[in-house]
Structures are given as structure tokens and as C-alpha cells.
A and B are shown apart, each in its own frame.
Chain A
Amino acid sequence: MAAKKSPKPNIADDSIWVLGTHMTRFGRYPDKDSVDLASTSAIAALQDGGVTIHDMDVLAAGCLLGQGGMAQRIQKQIGQTGIPAYNVTNACATGATAIRTVFLHISAGEADMGIAVGVEQMGKMGLLGGAGSKKEKKVFEPGGRYGAVTGIDGYLGTEGMPGVFAQAGMEYAHDHSGVDFEQFARVAYKNHLHSTLNPLAQYRKDFSMEEIMGAPTMSYPNTLLMCCPTGDGAAAAVLVSGERLKSMPRRVQKRAVKISASVLTSDPYTEASQVQPDVNTLTRNAAAQAYEKAGVAPEDLDLVELHDCFATAELIHYDNLGLCERGGAGDFIDSGAPFRDGRTPVNVSGGLISKGHPIGATGVANIFEVTTHLRGEAGDRQINGAKVGLAHVIGLGSACGIHILEKAA
């Protein structure tokens, strides 16, 4: 329409961008293995960016379970080009750590382009960490770092994920009165509702508040419908340096999404975290670093994909990520703010609760989701006019990854 070329986007040489990305639908793939899923997603992400494996200078693969060596097994399917390949595990932050590995390689000047792939094949494992414990010995002999004579899970509190995250939510309720079961349930209501618009989600069914609150209790207050399922899936992202992106066609530049912040934290010492993982402090630390690096405030975010492994987790991360006032997470969900038509849409993909949580894929799939919205390519679930988004994951142990993404100028 304009006679002259459109103005060139502002691309700094030392900036880093998402060039191409893809995710498989999350779900069950009994006829494929994790190498099939990861390789399929990797090729699709390369095609999305208009590049090939021969353009890649580095590959990082995140896969928490399985036999290991995923990066090289992907290479053997899509191209053994001899580039450095990293195998990454970092609990539920595995995918985000793969992204950050490629990011660091580029920012160190050792690569112009690289690809991060996250994958998991979990099959029907049942709930994440919901079961499994040591078998009772016939002779009580002290062993391990606590000198335990048998498994302690269930005797000295729970080690199951639904219970650990339930307690994290209940601790928030303890510190901030007024937070209750119904507010935790409303988080799950929202994410199930959001997932009905996402063709890539494992489940796409909405549930009433009564159905969610009346579902079988896993670990109070988390009912079955407030817990993420297990599943299979993969996601991939191709990253490129600003310097290299500048040499690419305008149409490619327009779809590129800038990574304004890439942050990884672990849990600093806190007294209580010696017995119960502290999922708050490292998330708050990561958020503070990410906002400062990106020069972005929580109010600037057009969408957030955060780690809702359980409904209780999402609620406390509203506070940890500064999306609400301190102590105000209950009011935040009640106000409708994190619904897709609210002030700060959270988990418009359906989140882990309904989109699914193939562990290694999750932290890459969040990047896919935010990138797709910033490109304006999210179809029915598109958040219109989205310019800035945040992707957050946390793995118990603990590791927290946050990326802030911005639309090309």
C-alpha cells in the first residue's frame, strides 16, 4: 500500500529473538516415542523460522525422564551437523533451561542461531508425583540423610506434589486471611474454560465450579480437576541474534519476537524451605530480575503463561510475579483480572491444568504460546493487540525460569 518500504524495525546487534517456534498438541501418543515428538517439533520450528538444521550453531534438548542423550538422538533424526549439543534437566524448569542455554550461547557470541527443544513422554503415569514410595524393609535400619528406618512419605507429611503445592497455597492462606477453597477452585475453572479455545490443549472441556469443587480430593484443597494431568508432547524454538536477524527479509523480521529478559534462579536459603520447598522466594527474585532487565512492569504485560501445576500454585504466583498487590491474590482472581477478557490474562492456553504438562516440553511450550500471541497468530484464543508477554516455570528442588517477550517494533 505504501510506496516506500516500511521502516526497519529497531533490532540491536546484541539482542536475541525467537525466529521460529512450534508445539505438538499435548496428549497421548502411544504410537510414537519422545524422539519422534521432539524431532517433529524441531523440524516444524525450523520451517516456521525459514531456516534449516544447517543454519543452527547450537542445540539444547530438555527431557527430564527417559534414557538421556535426547539432543544427540534428535540430531540423528534431523541432521548430525556436529554442532555443540546440550542435554538439559532442571525439574519442571527443564524446557526453560534449554531455551536459556541457547540464549546464553548466542549472547556469549559463540552462536548466531540455535534451537531449543523440550519433550516428554509420560504416558498414563497417573498424577505427577501422586504416588510412589520406598517399600517397607523387613529390618528397621537407619539409612539416608535423615537416618530413616523406612519411607517417610505419609508418616512425616506428604512428599506428593499435589500435597506439597496444596501446602504452599495454604501457607499463603495462613499469611493472608480471606483466601479460601473457592478461590483456588476458580483458578482451575478459568484454565479449563480457556482451554476450550486452544486446539493444542490436551483437554478442551469446561467445568462448573460445582464440578471442580466436587471432584475427588487429591490433596485438599486440590481436587482432581485442580491438578495438571500427565501427558506426552514436544515444543521447539529457534533463537537468532539481532545482528543476524538484521540481514533477514523484512517479512521474517516482522514475525520475530524479542526476548527482553531471560532469567534463571534457584531457591535461596530460607528457614522453612529446609522441610517444605519454598516456591515463592526464587520466583519473586526471578521476576524482579526479569522486569529490570526488560524495563517492563507487571502492568505492561498483555498476557502471562505461568506454572499452574496445581490451582494452589497459580494463585500464589499472581503475588510472586507482582500481578496483584502483596496479599491480594484472592481478590485478583475474584475480580476476573486473570481471565482472558480481564486486565492481565493468565494461562489463556489452558495452562498446565488443562493444556497439559509433558514436563520437558512445558517451558518451551510457554515460549511458543506467548510468541504466537505477540505475532497475532493465536487464532480463536488470540489476545488482541498483545505486545508484551511473560512465560514462567518452576521446578521443585528448586529452579525458576522467566522469559519476557516483546513484539517486533
Chain B
Amino acid sequence: MVSPTPSAQVPLVDYLRIGARPYLRAHECTSCGARFFDRRVACASCGKQEFRNARVKNSGHVKAFSIVHRAAPGIPAPYVSAVVETIDGTTVRSNIVNCDATPEAVSLGMSVKLTTYPIGTDDDGTEAIAFGYEPS
């Protein structure tokens, strides 16, 4: 389902690593183990400044969700927004995809796994790849 030319693809966010086996890369504090997805100056938990790259596990469960009907411009609605806790205890904000956007189709505690999908192509022909979680 993803286009065959990796050079013409770019991840939606830099913490999504695309390729044969996509995963999320976190900045992990070497001192306390806290994980962050954004560019860091220092650790919000302990204040230390040393980080290593950590590979977040792809499986998890739905900790919270909402069916969003009133969406940002250009975003197809309704969609399922969720907070997912991975099996290694990392919290990720994402959409639930490949799943009906109804309260009946999604449940709290539901098992999910990471997947990727294209969200559009720019004027140079580069395709942006987003991640989501699908029922597993």
C-alpha cells in the first residue's frame, strides 16, 4: 500500500521511522529513562541533558479515545483520535485507523498495533507517510 520508491517518501514527523519495518523513535533520557518525541533541550522529568534513541514497541492498547466529528480544515471526519499505551509503557497520541469511527467499533483497552499510510503528495512528488494504530 505504500509507494515503492523510498526516496520519494518522507515521514509526517521525524520520530516516525519508515522503511521495511516502521517504528517510532523516542529520545530517552539516559538518566531517568523518560521518553520524548520532540526535540529536547533537557529532560522534563529530571533535568539532565543526555538522551539516547529508543525504539518504541509497535504493540499497545487504547487508553483513551474520542470520535472527532468537528475536525481541523482538510481532515476527513469523523475519525478516531486516541491515546495509546505501548507494551513498553510509552504513551503515544495517534489516530486509530482501519476501524469504523463509531463508539461501537472502538473500545477502551482494545489491542492495537502500529501501521503507516500515505496522506498526500507535494508538488515535487514526495509522499508524506503518517502512522496510526489499527486493531490487532
Contact = CB atoms under 8 A, between A and B. Distances in A.
A148 B81 CA distance: 18
A160 interface: yes
Nearest to A145: B38
Interface stretch (A70-78, A215-223, A298-306, A339-347): A215-223
A136 B72 contact: no
A220 B65 CA distance: 8
Contacts of B44: 269, 274
Interface residues on B, range: 35 or more
Contacts of A274: 35-37, 44, 91
Question: Chain A: interface secondary structure?
Answer: loop
Interface string A240-271: 00000000000000000000000000000101
B112 interface: no
Interface in A176-191: 181
B15 A139 contact: no
A108 interface: no
Nearest to B26: A274
Given A149-B128, A272-B83, A274-B91, A156 B68 contact: no
A185 to B, nearest CB: 13
Contacts of A131: 70-73
A157 interface: yes
A407 to B, nearest CB: 40
Contacts of B35: 271, 274
A201 to B, nearest CB: 24
B39 A145 contact: yes
A152 interface: yes
A288 B94 CA distance: 33
Interface of A: 127, 130-133, 136-140, 142, 145-160, 162-163, 166-168, 170-171, 173-174, 181, 216-222, 269, 271-272, 274-276
